[in-house]
Structure 1
């Protein structure tokens, strides 16, 4: 298991930064600052796959142990496979709302028999020179994080966190606040969730959350390490 994944799963505090500018110098400088990881944002930026790979090279070229992690645009398994082939240390997958989605994400990151990721002699495997070695270790090394960004996702947070292979939940405050009709009110002291439902129900508004719903939230946000985002850093 990689040191980054091991630290996350052990509940240790790890700190990363966010890169949306597709220039290798920005990624390399960020890695030189001593963060545990650098997130290369391929969701809300103009980065191509080639750019992501070049930024991963830049992070790896920096001194220290900073690891490149990519936020994907979606949970498409082909896109996940191609990003992992660039040699990054993990992925963040946005807009996960159910345990079924989370399980599909994990399968896409795992080689058979644990998953369905395709095998190739890409940068991740030193262009085929270390293909067998990479195949043997990749399933244990790769960090898998999923984003909770909707009220439905919050309702299923407990079951999502319980999925084997999901290492952390990242709460996306912008999309989550928009989902519940409270966009931008991330520092509000009033209740954040005007819509409440349990996973077994249709999303019907209620005045108060049920006990089972509150327990689901507690379980979900405690059963996995949780990212909290700021303008420039992420801390688990």
Structure 2
């Protein structure tokens, strides 16, 4: 089996820079995969992406020097199973708030007797049956990240981090801001403090931490706090900003 370089890197504390993808277009995914980022997040929570679409994007990335991560729509065992079977190896589970939810996420990515992942011997993940040792080795190369994005999750952060099978924790700034009473304002001082404190607590718990923001100043602060894998922008707003900038630069053509 191919080694999961992303999982090894964050376990060893080596910083990894990522890009967040919301666009359901394999050619765009392939282009992003060629830019030099360490990892890319394929999002199914806030997009129309589904398992066939994710598989197409994973296929587009197969020749790229990048590690894909996939976020399911929610903590859905059946959806996670299908994403794993089409070839996802890095899973980011959103909105995990309790130890019990973290335990369910861990069970979803492991085969029995340790977990509850369904067994298919001919999935894309197994090389369509060409990888006979997959069932005993798969969990070693699967990386499970859970998202901490509510006040309740922050209160239980150390307990969640201690759950066996959790390979890292990710602070979600947008939902956290809403949970703290500041929807749409992740730059609020209370939210900023909660983010950097959460990152430091994850590091103190001995686990890698992740974060997403296009705000360079905030990124600098979370990296100083100990963030290991950082997504520095999102493809859709990147496209929008670029298109708007070009429009503004050329409006004088109209006189």
Aligning the two structures, in what range does the TM-score lie when normalised by the shorter sequence? Answer: 0.7 to 0.9
The count of corresponding residues between Structure 1 and Structure 2 is 213
Equivalent residues of 1:158, 1:216 under 8 A apart: no
Task: Tell me the alpha carbon deviations over residues 41-65 of structure 1, each in whole angstroms, 9 at most, x when there is no partner.
Answer: 0111011210010001111132x2x
SS of residue matched to 1:127:
coil
Equivalent residues of 1:73, 1:94 under 8 A apart: yes
The aligned residue for residue 148 of structure 1 is 148
Structure 2 matches for 1:28-107, cutoff 5 A? 28-62=30-64, 64=65, 66-107=66-107
Matches of 2:18 and 2:6 in 1, distance apart?
Answer: 11
Matches of 2:37 and 2:199 in 1, distance apart?
Answer: 29
Q: CA RMSD in A?
A: 2.4
Matches of 1:225 and 1:185 in 2, distance apart?
Answer: 25
The aligned residue for residue 198 of structure 1 is none
Select 1:229's aligned residue among 185, 192, 212: 212
SS of residue matched to 1:175:
helix
How big is the shift at 1:113? 2.1
Q: Would you identify which runs of 4 or more consecutive aligned residues in structure 1 move more than 4 Å?
A: 215-218
Which structure shows the bigger proportion of residues in helix conformation? 2
Matches of 1:55 and 1:217 in 2, distance apart?
Answer: 30
How big is the shift at 1:40? 0.5
The aligned residue for residue 8 of structure 1 is 10
How big is the shift at 1:219? 3.8
Residues 165, 10 of structure 1: alpha-carbon distance in 2 compared, 3 angstrom cutoff: same
The aligned residue for residue 251 of structure 2 is none
The aligned residue for residue 168 of structure 1 is 168
The aligned residue for residue 127 of structure 1 is 128
Matches of 2:191 and 2:170 in 1, distance apart?
Answer: 17
The aligned residue for residue 253 of structure 2 is none
Matches of 1:55 and 1:3 in 2, distance apart?
Answer: 19
How big is the shift at 1:217? 8.5
Structure 1: tracts of 5 or more residues without a match? 194-214
